[in-house]
Amino acid sequence: MKNEKDIRILRELAARVAEIAAKDVQEERCKMWRAHNAFERVRPPVVIRGGYEDELVEPELICEDLFFRGHEARLRSKILQDSFDDDFIIEPWLTLRARCVLPPDGLWGVSATVKRAERHGLAYHVYAALESYDDMKKMKVPSHVIDEAATAEDAERLHGAVGDIIAIHVDRGPEWKGWNADISTNLGYLRGHEQMLYDMMDNPSELHALVSFMRDGILKAQREAEAAGDWTLGEHENQSVAYEKSLADPAPGAESVTRRELWGFFSAQEFASVSPELHEEFLLRYQMPIMENFGLTAYGCCEDLTNKIDMLRKIKNLRRISVTPFADAKRCAGQIRGDYICSYRPNPNIMAVEFDAEAIGKLLRADMGEFAANGCFVDICLKDVSTVGGDVGRLVKFAELARSIAEEYEAR
């Protein structure tokens, strides 16, 4: 039988994930996150989120078929996550992305050229898609269209392989969501990061026209997906754990919901060096009509938002703000107080060298002390861990240490 070996591997992994997802601790974590994200005092949750897959997951992959190999990676990632013993919830389903129909040259009908560094594969240079604003005429207005035949074929293959062991969730949401809906991410590819900064001074009207086009296109695609019933509870996104008492829990299945019933995630990494005034003028005012369609919003990935907290208060449904390694934790804590959830993100570089419990503990206690002094609701999120030097034990030790410090925080 074709792919018999791959399917056997997937079935073994799916059975392990189903067993992990059925542990009582998963529901305990759900309760904690529902309360935490709803501003109830619980022990600050601790999560470890990705970045290490190339080092810890990719070498373990065995499946030869690329379709099955991708799902093997997802299953192995869930199993690895469980080994950390953090507060991440291992959900009892496997997600299959629907096949969205896109323009030949990408989301916006034009494509950037990305050249990766030969010696350091994580570094790359972007050659912008729009060399001049005259190229905007080549851009395409987004439309939410799913290739139903191809999606059904994929679903049949995955169901046939593991559907009797673990639930399969088909994500039919629009391609213009998450990173593709925050404007900032794709703006960097369309115009180039450096040129975008020059445009704020040299070509402000053209830049406004571009981000207006993007805002309207994203809203159009998201409305079309909603009208088609293609948003479901599997499409929550908050770059953390999307449980909260006023919103229904994440769940697999095809039952449609509106964006008002979902978390939305937005960021502005390309605007990290931009002043609050220009950030608001050229990005936030265009993001807000998109964000406010969601029930709750999380804002920020790796960018420093220390000087932009007041600006973010204009987002009516804002619930979570990232406090990154580049931010001033003390100043952020003093501004955020108990008004939003602080997604505190210690520097992942601490995982690149031999685990130093004393140094890491000192860092976490100092920053968590600032959050405690200001009455903040905070969780600890270690993310973008590019390397642990091949030692997964560092992540296990981090989770244990961070949880003990979180328990000290709860006791205050």
Structure tokens at 317: 């449904």
Upper half-sphere CA count for residue 92 (Cβ side, 13 Å): 16
> What's the whole-number mean pLDDT along residues 238-244?
97
Residue ranges of the alpha helices (H) in 233-305? 276-279, 285-291
CA distance 139 to 130: 9
Is 163 a residue whose pLDDT tops 60? yes
pLDDT band at 2 (very low <50, low <70, confident <90, very high): low
Is 340 a residue whose pLDDT tops 80? yes
pLDDT in tens, 52-104: 999 999 999 999 999 999 999 999 999 999 999 999 999 999 999 999 999 99
Scanning the structure block, which residue is given the tokens 């207005």?
A: 141
> What's the whole-number mean pLDDT along residues 139-167?
97
- The residues spanned by each domain of the chain are 4-411
Q: How many residues does the chain have?
A: 412
pLDDT band at 121 (very low <50, low <70, confident <90, very high): low
Identify the pLDDT of residue 117: 75
DSSP 256: B
User: CATH classification of 4-411 is 3.40.50.11540, yes or no?
Assistant: no
Residue 86, SS3 per DSSP? coil
DSSP 97: E
Q: What percent of the chain has pLDDT above 90? A: 92
Structure tokens at 333: 């804590």
CA distance 190 to 185: 9
